[in-house]
Structure 1
């Protein structure tokens, strides 16, 4: 059976984020439903479904990209959870951020580590 881009993307999104991805899409439905559709179809249906990189590699790239951009704390939180969901350890997540210090500087890395600390604590408590 051939899946639509949306179905394919939703399947991949749930591999990464479990129900959290669907919650993000649902939250957009009343204000920007097309945005949720674009995220699912393009980011997860087209990009995340490509061959040659596994989900751990994709999440490591995503974490370093979001951290480098700065000001992406909400998305960083989502993808730290996603990284944990696909088997990246908390230690490795912190190491990804430390690797970026020479290229992005301490402030962005410190912000990312702060987000990671909150995510780790929430997951431990939950």
Structure 2
């Protein structure tokens, strides 16, 4: 959020208040389920590497395993194709390696 402070300070506020305040706090799904969905959604959108990296890290932080993240990304193949899944998997591999 800090990277937008000088150009669009309200953007960070909107993301935190809406996405995390309103959406992530809803009942019905736990944080692990929400992260799997977010990872799948960002994989299908493509061209979201910074956001996908954040959510893969967040998924690991809330208890997802590497296998669960890999399976969520692989599950997207029939819906979005190999190129987007390969890009997401490459990014996941970098995140996993960076965490040791």
Partner of 2:27 in structure 1? Answer: 51
- Tell me how large the CA RMSD over aligned residues is: 0.7
User: What TM-score, normalized by structure 1, do the two folds share?
Assistant: 0.77
Query: Which ranges of structure 1 fall in alignment gaps of 5 or more residues?
Result: 1-24
User: What TM-score, normalized by structure 2, do the two folds share?
Assistant: 0.97
Partner of 2:74 in structure 1? Answer: 98
User: Aligned to 1:31, what secondary structure does the other structure show?
Assistant: coil
What is the deviation of 1:45? Answer: 0.5
What is the deviation of 1:29? Answer: 1.2
2:51 to 75, 98, 102: 75
User: Aligned to 2:25, what secondary structure does the other structure show?
Assistant: coil
Dislocated runs of 4+, deviation >6 Å: none
Q: Distance in 2 between matches of 1:106 and 1:26?
A: 34
Query: Which ranges of structure 2 fall in alignment gaps of 5 or more residues?
Result: none
Size of the aligned set, in residue pairs, is 100
